[in-house]
Every structure is written in C-alpha cells, then in structure tokens.
C-alpha cells in the first residue's frame, strides 16, 4: 500500500464516531465520569474529526482510483490491436458527429472497433442514480412512447447494422447528478479498457457560423474527465457533417509532444481509408537551433513522423508539409488557411507546453481544455468551417 494511502486509512480508523460518543454519554449517566471530563472528551473527538477531514482531503486524491498500471492510449497499441473507444452522448444531435469520428477510425470487418456509447441524462429529483446496459436489448422499436434514450440507442444500433460487423456498439445510459457524471464516464472507460474517450464540445454552431447553443454543464464535465480519465481523451468540436460520397479532407496539426503523437496515431489510422485525403502539417520554429533538435521529445517526434512517412509511402492520399513560423501570430495565419481547405482537423491539446510556435496564444485562450491550437480553431474569430478533434494522451499511470 502506498504510504499516503496507509496514512489516510490510519487516520480514518483512529476517528471516533457515534458509538464512542454514546458510550461516553452512557458513562456520564452512570456517573462513571465527571461532566467536565465528558465535555473535554467530546471536544477532543470533534477537533480530531475536523483535523482528520482536512488531512484526508489533502492526502487522498479520489481520481487516483482510475489510474491504471497499463498504458491505455492509441500510441501504445500494437499495429493489429483492437481499438476500444468510449463515446459520450448528451443530446440526440451528438450521435451523427460521434459516428463521424468512428468512421474516421476506419472500422473494417478485418479490424473491427469496439465502441462503448454512454448516453448521459441529468438526474432530476431525489431518485437514485441509474446505470442501464442496452446490450441485451435485441430489438428497439421506435414509437411515440419511446424514451429519449431509446431514440439515441436506436440510431446507434442502426449505425452498427450498416457497418456489417466493422463496428461493435455497446450502448449504455447513465442517469446521475451533474457533479457525478464524470465518475460514470471514467468508471466505464476504466472497466472496459478503453484507449480513448470522445467527448462532445459544449458549444454548437449553425452552418452559417452563428452560435446555436452553449451548455456550461457539458464544459464542466469535459474538464473533470480530462483531469481524471484513465485513458486518452478527445474533445470534438462539430462544424458540419461528413459527406460519405465525397473525398474527406483531413488535416493533422503537429507541433510536437505526447498529445500530438497521440493525434498522429489517430490520423494514421484514418489515412488507411482511401476516401480520406490526409495532410500532415508539421509546424516548426523558424529559429530552432541544433540543441532544440537534440531534445528527447523532439527526437521522439521526428522518429514518429519518419515512421509515418514510411508507412504512407505507398499511399497516394497522404501529404506532408513542414511550415516554419515565427511566433503565434504566424501560426494563426496557417490555422486560418487550414480551416478553409479541410473538412476535419486533428490537433493535440498540448496543455501547459510552451513553444515558440504558440507564443502569446495562451494569454488569449478562451477554452483552456482545448489547448492553445484547439482554442484558436474553435474560436469564432477564426471563422473555421472544419470540425476539430482535440486529443490528450493518457495522463494517469501508476508508477
């Protein structure tokens, strides 16, 4: 047992409770102890409980229960490993964009994808939280009496049917309070050994760029999942629906770092679809030095990009561009052009990573959960028409 957990457990076991208070009260009634002694004992119990509460809150991190001993991310998966994805759905219109991301993973019969779909519904009133598995429900009939969740499950089942075994959908519904929804998401991802969680962004726009709605509760959930997730996380900013009968123009923004390498893994999988046209934009600092190139993270980035080029050498639907920039302002110009030329953009979150390419962008950040690059692409000022997926690699690993 880790030392912090041992100290926390010992503090909790040392606490006096109702039983001890009753015993001292009984002893007082029998005149076994004096009244002032009883007062001192009760005061000590109250003080110890208050101190224990503060110490336990300081020592114990509830999110650590989701930290596994294995790497659960796309980067660590072997070439022929099964992809397990958890998708989160709040509203019925989230289903189509979520299935678009599943299509982006290029599920085929030879390499199917297992998708656990969790529909979250706010618990209203004093009822107990409910978790429902729809796996055993073979037939879902659509009628006027169907619940809101049944409509979501029906659309997912129809999508699974259309994929002819390439995508295995396991739908679930969780009805819980808003402040506990992240527990349902993280627990299911931990239990199902998911490699990545896909979350919808808290804003939705009309086709003309005007804001349709904003849900701050969804944003709060996304931030909580990013902090506690047992695997990688992707936040989906939707700005249009993929046209399946046309070429899908996909872009990957690569600046470097573990999150960008995770995003590249997803882009590599998408590029296996002949209907996807992928462009990898490697944005580098124009003033980079030889010392910067010897950095361990930079060397890992270069090695992965090199492997990606080799694996795509026989494909005609993948292009690579290296773009030199000076500061965040030139990066914004590149992103603006990218948003006009592509249907979908994948980026790494890169939270807390400072680099010359994003210099000055953090100060203007409106959505820190998207990182500096994702925040710019999601901003209404950029007028980006492409949907964006912001990827964060698994953070919690027990050592």
Task: Supply the pLDDT for residue 8.
Answer: 84
The Cα–Cα gap between 305 and 318 comes to 12
Boundary-marking domain end, from 236, 260, 284: 236
Residue 262 has pLDDT above 50, yes or no: yes
Same domain, 56 and 40: yes
Residue 383 has pLDDT above 50, yes or no: yes
| Residue numbers of the domain that contains 341 | 248-392
Task: Supply the pLDDT for residue 69.
Answer: 60
The Cα–Cα gap between 35 and 276 comes to 81
Residue 399 has pLDDT above 70, yes or no: no
Strand ranges for the chain from DSSP E: 83-89, 113-122, 130-133, 167-176, 196-200, 203-205, 211-214, 232-237, 248-254, 276-285, 318-325, 344-348, 387-392
Domain assignment present for 162: yes
Enumerate residues 6+ apart whose C-beta is below 8 A from 78: none
Distance of alpha carbon 216 from the chain centroid: 16
Domain assignment present for 282: yes
Q: Count helices and strands (H / E) in the chain.
A: 12, 13
Same domain, 219 and 102: yes
Specify whether the CB–CB gap between 380 and 211 falls below 8 A.
Answer: yes
Residue 145 has pLDDT above 70, yes or no: no
Same domain, 278 and 168: no
CATH code at 281? 3.40.50.620
Q: Tens of pLDDT along 89-143? A: 999 999 999 999 999 999 998 889 999 999 999 988 767 888 988 876 554 444 3
Task: Supply the pLDDT for residue 161.
Answer: 92
Residue 216 has pLDDT above 80, yes or no: yes
- 171: buried, middle or exposed (CB in 10 Å: 19+, 13-18, 0-12)? buried
Domain assignment present for 243: no
Give the chain's domain count: 3
Distance, first Cα to last Cα, the chain: 13
Same domain, 218 and 361: no
Task: Supply the pLDDT for residue 136.
Answer: 62
Boundary-marking domain end, from 60, 77, 96: 60
Domain assignment present for 241: no
Domain assignment present for 28: yes
Same domain, 315 and 222: no
Task: Supply the pLDDT for residue 241.
Answer: 61
- The answer to which of 11-20, 110-119, 188-197, 336-345 has the lowest mean pLDDT is 11-20
Domain assignment present for 378: yes
Q: Tens of pLDDT along 33-81? A: 888 898 999 999 899 889 988 988 888 776 666 665 678 899 988 877 8
Task: Supply the pLDDT for residue 142.
Answer: 41
Task: Supply the pLDDT for residue 392.
Answer: 96
pTM metric for this prediction: 0.82
Same domain, 230 and 260: no
Domain assignment present for 169: yes
Same domain, 137 and 188: yes
Q: Tens of pLDDT along 269-290? A: 999 999 999 999 999 988 887 7
Average pLDDT of the chain is 86
Task: Supply the pLDDT for residue 84.
Answer: 95
pLDDT, average across residues 1-8: 78
* Residue, of 118 and 4, whose pLDDT is higher: 118
Boundary-marking domain end, from 236, 270, 303: 236
Task: Supply the pLDDT for residue 183.
Answer: 92
Task: Supply the pLDDT for residue 143.
Answer: 39
Same domain, 381 and 350: yes
* Residue, of 149 and 179, whose pLDDT is higher: 179
Rg for the chain, CA atoms, rounded: 25
Q: Closest Cα partner for 135 from 90, 172, 190? A: 172
The Cα–Cα gap between 274 and 351 comes to 32
Specify whether the CB–CB gap between 339 and 385 falls below 8 A.
Answer: yes
Same domain, 133 and 162: yes
Same domain, 302 and 219: no
Same domain, 101 and 184: yes
Task: Supply the pLDDT for residue 311.
Answer: 86
Query: Is 390 in a helix, a strand, or coil?
Result: strand
Specify whether the CB–CB gap between 300 and 261 falls below 8 A.
Answer: yes
Domain assignment present for 353: yes
Ordered DSSP codes for 113-146: EEEEEEEEEE--SSPPPEEEE-TT-------TT-
Neighbour tally for 70: CB within 10 Å: 12
Spatial strand order of the sheet with 248-254 comes to: 130-133, 167-176, 113-122, 83-89, 196-200, 232-237, 387-392, 344-348, 248-254, 276-285, 318-325
CA angle 85, 279, 384 (to 5 degrees): 80
Same domain, 43 and 92: no
Q: Tens of pLDDT along 225-255? A: 999 899 999 999 998 665 555 789 999 999 9
Q: Tens of pLDDT along 163-174? A: 988 999 999 999
């Amino acid at each position: 047992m880790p030392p912090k957990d041992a100290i926390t457990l010992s503090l909790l076991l040392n606490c006096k409770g109702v039983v001890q208070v009753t015993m001292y009260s009984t002893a007082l009634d029998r005149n076994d102890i004096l009244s002032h002694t009883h007062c001192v004992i009760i005061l000590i119990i109250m003080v110890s409980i208050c101190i224990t509460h503060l110490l336990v809150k300081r020592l114990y991190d509830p999110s650590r229960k989701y930290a596994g001993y294995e790497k659960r991310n796309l980067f660590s998966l072997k070439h022929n490993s099964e992809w397990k994805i958890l998708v989160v759905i709040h509203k019925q219109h989230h289903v189509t964009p979520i299935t678009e991301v599943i299509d982006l993973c290029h599920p085929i019969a030879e390499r199917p994808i297992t998708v656990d779909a969790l529909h979250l519904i706010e618990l209203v009133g004093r009822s107990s939280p409910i978790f429902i598995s729809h796996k055993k429900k073979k037939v879902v009939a659509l009628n006027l009496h169907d619940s809101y969740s049944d409509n979501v499950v029906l659309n997912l089942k129809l999508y699974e049917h259309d994929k002819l075994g390439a995508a295995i959908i396991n739908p679930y519904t969780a009805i819980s309070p808003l402040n506990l929804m992240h527990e349902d998401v993280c627990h299911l991802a931990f239990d199902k050994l998911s490699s990545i969680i896909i979350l919808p962004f808290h804003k939705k726009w009309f086709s003309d760029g005007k804001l349709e709605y904003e849900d701050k509760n969804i944003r709060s959930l996304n931030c909580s999942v990013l902090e506690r997730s047992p695997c990688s996380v992707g936040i989906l900013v939707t700005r249009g629906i993929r046209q399946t009968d046309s070429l899908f123009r996909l872009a990957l923004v690569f600046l470097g770092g573990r999150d960008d390498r995770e995003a590249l893994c997803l882009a590599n999988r998408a590029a296996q679809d002949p209907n996807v046209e992928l462009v990898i934009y490697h944005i580098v600092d124009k003033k980079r030095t030889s010392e910067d190139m010897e950095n361990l993270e930079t060397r890992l980035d270069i090695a992965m990009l090199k492997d990606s080029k080799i694996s795509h050498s026989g494909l005609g639907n993948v292009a690579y561009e290296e773009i030199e920039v000076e500061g965040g302002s030139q990066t914004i110009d590149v992103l603006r052009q990218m948003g006009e030329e592509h249907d979908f953009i994948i980026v790494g979150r890169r939270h807390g990573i400072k680099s010359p390419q994003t210099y000055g962008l953090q100060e203007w950040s409106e959505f820190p959960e998207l990182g500096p690059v994702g925040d710019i692409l999601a901003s209404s000022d950029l007028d980006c028409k492409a949907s964006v997926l912001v990827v964060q690699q698994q953070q919690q690993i027990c050592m």
